[in-house]
Structure 1
């Protein structure tokens, strides 16, 4: 009798566990079923590098001139719709949309700037990323998610 009672409890517990934790919906066996989305508060406004759902800024505009000629132009803006432009005249590269975003992602993940990064360090990281030792104009504007701005404008 005790064995029968224990077996019934185990069977009932298993059924409840599978029903509560399992995925027995009509699309449960399909590979393309939709999973639940988890959205962080920061993600709604562009995200942050700390939460892993963004870069910590929603606008990034960079222009570098070398020997008085336009060399690098990048533009990243997610305030309305994620869009990017990337032009590197040194390597004869001009990208838009997804291709530009892929290239900008490499830049952003390499330089990893925050609102607290000193200006000299930002300039050094960007120049190092592009392999530049000198410039005649360096103009960078970044709008961070928390509302602070970074504006570096240097002319040599």
Structure 2
């Protein structure tokens, strides 16, 4: 009787274990060959008239060339180009910075995000924002060239 009870308990245990480990494909979308959820489709909205930071095409421009002179000495020289060379340099003699490549891109990212340059900005607003960002009160020469994604250009060449 004792052996019969042991055998019955062993068989009951085996049936429970095998039943719990079984694979039933009755549920739709489950099982080893079927994904648990549907893949989502990503849709992206793009601007028709050039790029912008919102459309994922960078800062809205692909060339930014800035030179600022104070008392006849060049103190700021910034170059950013992505259309042809994907390069950047950032020189600020007042802060003792001479950056190239990734370090320059990182510094320029802060500049571009803070000044939020657009093609519709007034030239004096552009000058004021850039001068404030660099902590400068005056300049003897301010030269800026920007090529926006939509083909428009901003050229400022001011001397005092």
Q: Normalization by structure 1: what TM-score? A: 0.74
Structure 2 counterpart SS, 1:73 = strand
- Map of 1:18 onto structure 2: 36
Unaligned runs of 5+ in 2: 1-23
Mapped contact 2:29–2:37 kept (Cα < 8 A)? no
Alignment partner of 1:134: what SS?
coil
Summarize the Cα distance change of 1:86–1:40 in structure 2 as closer, same or farther, 3 Å threshold: farther
What is the total number of aligned residue pairs between the two structures?
133
What root-mean-square deviation, in Å, do the aligned CA atoms of Structure 1 and Structure 2 show? 2.9
Deviation at 1:50, TM superposition (A): 2.3
1:81 to 2:85 alignment: yes
Q: Within 2, Cα distance between the matches of 1:95 and 1:141?
A: 20
Greater Rg by CA: 2
Is the aligned partner of 1:148 residue 2:136?
A: no
User: Residue 12 of structure 1: CA displacement?
Assistant: 2.1
The alpha carbon displacement at 1:9 in A equals 9.4
Partner of 1:49, secondary structure, is coil
55-64 or 78-87, larger mean C-alpha shift: 78-87
| Unpaired stretches in structure 1, ≥5 consecutive residues | 1-7, 23-36
| 1:26-50 deviations in Å (ceiling 9; x for gaps) | xxxxxxxxxxx988767xxx95212
Instruction: Supply the distance in 1 between the matched residues of 2:145 and 2:138 (Cα, whole angstroms).
Output: 19
Question: Does 2:104 correspond to 1:100?
Answer: yes
SS in 1 for 2:27: helix
> Counterpart of 2:135?
131
What does residue 13 of structure 2 align with?
Answer: none
Alpha-carbon distance in 1 for matches of 2:76, 2:154: 18
